[in-house]
Amino acid sequence: MDSRVTMVAAVTMVAAGVGLAEIRLRRRRPRTAHGRYADWVHPGGLLAGPMRALANSRVARAVCEVFPVPAMGAARRPAPRRGRAALTRWEVSFSA
């Protein structure tokens, strides 16, 4: 019984902390019509409400900001050439 009370207390404290962080982040990062902080609207369905709440959560965005943004396919540079053709004239003279 004691472990259940402890678990409920821990979940309540985490929920309160996330709620306070959400309020603070909403003050620091206001909504915009376009761009990064614009509201996302789910097209509809059974999970529209929870998905919209998660997508528009400032806490979830702040947590996910620590991950690097993947590069787009067209933005990648081609792989460097290998072999003697890739060496400069100076490197060729000293590699022989």
pLDDT in tens, 43-93: 888 888 888 888 889 999 888 888 777 766 655 566 666 655 555 555 555
Instruction: Tell whether 43 is covered by a domain.
Output: yes
pTM above 0.85, yes or no: no
Q: Write out the residue range of the structural domain in which residue 35 sits.
A: 2-70
Residue 44 covered by a domain: yes
Confirm whether 13 is domain-assigned: yes
18 part of a folded domain: yes
64, amino acid identity = C
Q: How many domains does the chain have?
A: 1
